[in-house]
Structure 1
Amino acid sequence: MSVLFQPLQAGALLLPNRILMAPLTRCRAEDGHIPGDLMATYYAQRASAGLLIAEATMAIEGNSAFWHEPGIHNAAQVAGWKKVTAAVHKAGGRIVLQIWHGGRACHPLLNGGAQPVAPSALPIRNDEVHTPEGKKPYVTPRELRDDEIPAIVAGFRRAAENAKAAGFDGVEVHGANGYLLDQFLRDGTNKRRGPYGGPLENRARLLLEVLDAITAVWGGDRVGLRLSPLNGFNDMIDSDPVGLIAWLATRLNDYQLAYLHLMRGDFLGQQRGDVLTPARQHYKGVLIGNMGYTPAEAARTIEIGQLDAVAFGSAFLANPDLPARIKAGAQLNSPNPETFYSPGPEGYTDYPFMH
């Protein structure tokens, strides 16, 4: 396992180990999408990660896709996140903020009645969203007009500026899991014409414009990007996921990002394929893998040079001291899915540390 404990230079970020914490939606923000003391405790407990990637956070007001997820679009939210970053830094950790727009995964009941927006007017099928009135089907989104897109790019830029003001060490752009940027990227959800639809370079245009805006704020070396070309979550599909990642991995070299964070599979097990090999082949920077890695597999994959680090999700959720447990060969706590999204400290800050 020793390779997991070698330091890694990811752009401007020096990571003391290669056991990263994946962004995990936990729905523990206070009213107004404001991070509170409970969130500060949770992240500080996990500060031994090589890097903490904070959960999906609303870049732009009125685009809530979960009940009680955090935002980064106003002063109260920035102040709340300052508590989190201060607690993490005090505990010796490094933390970046994942900034995100839900697109068609948003719901009117979470957003004052507003209809969600998307590249095309296609709803998420066969799934439901948690709302204050219980679980509800997704609604059909409104197709964004080309002239509305610059405001979305500007919103991401402001979110990046706010993340800087809140004391983060960098940001991760959420281009995965069927949210707005991913909806534009994949041809199963992007059926539009014009500059943002059709061929891959057009479908990638919004993502690249967002990266241009955010790297202008932070510099590329403090910006990461998460992609999930195979993941069917949120009713997503692409006709050529391997071609998509090969093209993007090449194009992303221009940005000299801190890292590329790649989800290797499909939560639903419907789409199969190898996206890691083309990503490693074409991408010159730090490559982080995610989805179902055991510590042993993570170590092997880094040892053979396929990845530079691995982000752990539910294992970090249930084991605040995950790196120490891996090093000691200790047993891991099992995560409890019943409390993934419930309010309060239970199943959040009460998982035991090693004795």
Structure 2
Amino acid sequence: MADLFTPLRLGSLELPNRIWMAPLTRCRAEEGHRPGPLMAEYYGQRASAGLIVAEATMVMEGNSAFWHEPGVYSQAQIEGWRLTTEAVHRAGGRIVLQLWHGGRACHPLLNGGAQPVGPSPIAITGAEVHTPEGKKPYVVPRELRDDELPAIVEGFRQAARAATAAGFDGVEVHGANGYLLDSFLRNGSNKRSGPYGGSIANRARLLLEVLQVVGQETPLMGLRLSPLNGFNAMADSDPIGLLTWLAQRLNDRPLAYLHLIRGDLLGQQQGDVLTPARQHFRGVLVANMGYTAAEANAAIAAGALDAVAFGTSFLANPDLPERFRRGAPLNAPDPASFYSPGPTGYTDYPTLGPQP
């Protein structure tokens, strides 16, 4: 019977455990959205994860949604990321890069005045974005034309190629949490007509096109989805149907794993997306959102999941697998330092000493 510490085969990788580090935006990139030595130290500290999924990373210039997030579209960024991949590999770890387009979550003040883009001219409501001029409301995005979408697909392709050059073991395509690909998927944000709107097949077209080209440029590809999550003012009229349709068709893409946010971070949308995913998707299934070690162990032992990704608990506990192994208490995360610059609340969380 498998548990959190049972090795797992993922493509060409042999993972020593099933305790994954979820992608966590931390806003520590340097000028020009370049990853630096501090980020390398942070990820290197967490190399005991079965797999690290590095944070949301811009595939194309001019699509910043977090101000100090990293990119992977320039040579300087590739070289910066190489510091991280080398640090993780030196420590015996494995790491993939999450490829991301912020879509309507971007803001003109973060992108030289450029209007954000999305499937339809519908703004994110009920939230604000951090900018150099303080918190600001999101703006109405410009509706992308059909003839602009091939360039975005190509942007993901180039980003996957760059991630491979930077030494990553693979990539995870970000199709969750209301960013560009997710906003096309869900009918609360996609009101367009034509080949990329209307039916589930049309709304999923952009994502499937991205997966097809990304899979040609990387040794390993995963996908993150969040059909129930209301973050970034997202909704869908049939999230279970959407996930079921996708899970069946993802088997036709070179996808090693599917990474699901199992619920709604806002607590509004209820449903079970894990069961249809397990029923229809034939690759490795990973879930995230609020798992304890005990619940994760039980889900893996029951065969409901192959691995579990931990977010804030990994943020605050660089040695999370060892703490789980010993049954040791966990450090509490400090939300005030989640997005602040510098090492405080980033690389200074304590680890356990040697086992007595």
TM-score range, shorter chain: over 0.9
**Secondary structure of the structure 1 residue equivalent to 2:20:** strand
Report the Cα offset of residue 258 of structure 1. Answer: 1.5
Distance 1:69 1:31 in 2: 10
Q: Residue 336 of structure 1 aligns with which residue?
A: 334
Give the 3-state SS of the residue equivalent to 1:351 in structure 2. Answer: coil
Contact 1:12/1:258 (<8 A) preserved: no
1:105 alignment counterpart: 105
Q: What are the superposed Cα offsets for residues 199-253 of structure 1, whole Å, 9 maximum, x if unpaired?
A: 000000000000011011125xx00000000000000000000001100000001
C-alpha distance in structure 2 between counterparts of 1:71 and 1:40, whole Å: 15
Q: TM-score scaled by structure 2?
A: 0.98
1:137 corresponds to: 137
CA distance in 1, matches of 2:11, 2:342: 36
Structure 2 residue identity aligned to 1:260: L
User: Within 2, Cα distance between the matches of 1:257 and 1:102?
Assistant: 22
The amino acid that maps onto 1:313 is G
Identity between Structure 1 and Structure 2 (%): 73
Which residue number corresponds to residue 22 of structure 1? 22
| Partner amino acid, structure 2, of 1:51 | L
Paired residues of 1:11 and 1:257 also in contact (CA < 8 A): no
Question: 1:153-177 CA deviation, whole Å, 9 max, x = no partner?
Answer: 0000000000011000000000000
Question: Does the 8 A contact of 2:2 with 2:300 survive in 1?
Answer: no
In 2, the alpha carbon distance for the partners of 1:313 and 1:202 equals 32
Pair 1:199 & 2:199 matched: yes
- Partner of residue 297, structure 2: 299
Q: 1:267 aligns with which of 259, 265, 268?
A: 265
For residue 256 of structure 1, report the CA deviation from its aligned partner.
Answer: 3.9
Give the drift of 1:13.
Answer: 2.1
The aligned runs of 1:1-355 (5 Å cut-off) are 3-218=3-218, 222-355=220-353
Q: Give 3-state SS (helix, strand or coil) of 2:215's partner.
A: helix
Contact 2:212 2:254 in 1 (8 A): no
Aligned counterparts of 2:241 and 2:318: Cα–Cα separation in 1? 37
Q: CA deviation at 1:2?
A: 7.1
Runs of 4+ off more than 2 Å = none
Paired with 1:171 and 1:54, the residues of 2 have a C-alpha distance of 9
Q: For 1:260, what is the secondary structure of its paired residue? A: strand
What amino acid is the match of 1:208?
Answer: L
Which whole-Å CA distance do the structure 2 matches of 1:350 and 1:342 have between them? 13
Q: Distance in 1 between matches of 2:154 and 2:298?
A: 41
Aligned equivalents of 2:210 and 2:9: distance in 1?
Answer: 24
Q: In 2, distance between residues paired with 1:200 and 1:3? A: 35
Where 1:3 maps in the other structure, the secondary structure is coil
The 2-side partners of 1:262 and 1:2 are apart by 20
TM-score in terms of structure 1 length:
0.98
Which residues of structure 1 form unaligned runs of 5+? Answer: none
The offset of 1:126, in angstroms, is 1.0
* Distance across 2 between alignment mates of 1:344 and 1:31: 13
Tell me the distance in 2 between the aligned counterparts of 1:3 and 1:152.
39
